[in-house]
Chains A and B, each alone.
Chain A
């Protein structure tokens, strides 16, 4: 078991506190370690891999990834929450840092060039909700925490866009890890993505109180 990165400096009034979903992510990435290391062992022709995390929050997943799963990579991450953007950089530094980690404040991956990403990590806002907060009102209140969990219809409003654009963003050997809850209907998603030519695998799930969280791997 690799140790959980330290996040003692993080202000949880402003940034999503690492929770059961984050910890499931860390545990399952650990099980995927040899798959990932093998897939990206040869950087000479295709170049060094790029790892992108959407919705960094505290940055705990990216930090874990550069420390224990794939140290030799270029790390990029995004969040809409400006406090999360800053905090994620601090978390990486507080845990020894890595050679290359930059954060973009953006919606999902807007602004990123197509055909850029080798490994995608996403613990999304997955909880079904009637509607999402508006960006304008969050700027006024400086409160971004609703964006951390509320995922609109079926909890899929953000994840659906990610899945629809996956083809443009991922490089040929790309692999994406995305977390779902039961109400996101992950089996249906898996079927639709398989029909679109992705190879899809559930890498694990965990029952947490009334919720079942699972993480799925999408690769070409």
Chain B
């Protein structure tokens, strides 16, 4: 699972989805049987692609996710970029590309702050199935 995907998911317990605490899920507590494992996976760099992702990001949640995964380099607010192809913007867009698209969470767990349910990630695939809860 790419780091950016943490920005698109929340606790799948119905009672949690109405509370603000269901998002973002937290990487701050990991378990011994599924230790956190991150990997770098090369993705073609496109300045426009990253630039067009920016309006889709919940920045405060991204800051939390990045910090919990050991990255303290992000600016406090969404970077304001006018022209993605201007040379002065290349470094920030490359850094975001590396963090958001190339950082793979191979395994580990995500915790809901509201109900403490733990969602495991294995083989890069997070599992949001809740026991006994296939089709209501």
Interface residue ranges, A against B (CB under 8 Å): 43-48, 50, 72, 74, 76, 80, 82, 85-86, 89, 99-100, 102-107, 110-114, 116, 132, 134-136, 152, 157-158, 161
Q: Which B residue's beta carbon lies closest to that of A97?
A: B43
A107 — which chain B residues lie within 8 A by C-beta? 128-130, 133-135
Interface extent on B, as a size class? 35 or more
Answer yes or no: B27 CB below 8 A from chain A CBs: no
Whether the Cβ atoms of A135 and B133 lie closer than 8 Å is yes
The 10 A-B pairs at the shortest CB distance, nearest first, are namely A111-B128, A47-B55, A106-B128, A111-B12, A110-B12, A135-B134, A48-B52, A47-B56, A43-B52, A102-B5
Interface residue ranges, B against A (CB under 8 Å): 1-2, 4-5, 8-12, 17, 23, 43-44, 46, 49, 52-56, 101, 119, 123-136
Whether the Cβ atoms of A48 and B53 lie closer than 8 Å is yes
Interface of A is mostly: loop
Given contact pairs A102-B2, A113-B10, A89 touches B124 in the complex (Cβ within 8 A): yes
Given contact pairs A76-B5, A113-B9, A132-B134, A48 touches B129 in the complex (Cβ within 8 A): no
B23 → chain A closest CB, angstroms: 6
Interface of B is mostly: loop
12 extra interchain contacts, Cβ-Cβ under 8 A, other than A86-B123, A116-B8? A47-B55, A85-B125, A99-B44, A100-B101, A102-B1, A106-B127, A107-B128, A107-B129, A107-B130, A112-B8, A112-B9, A135-B133
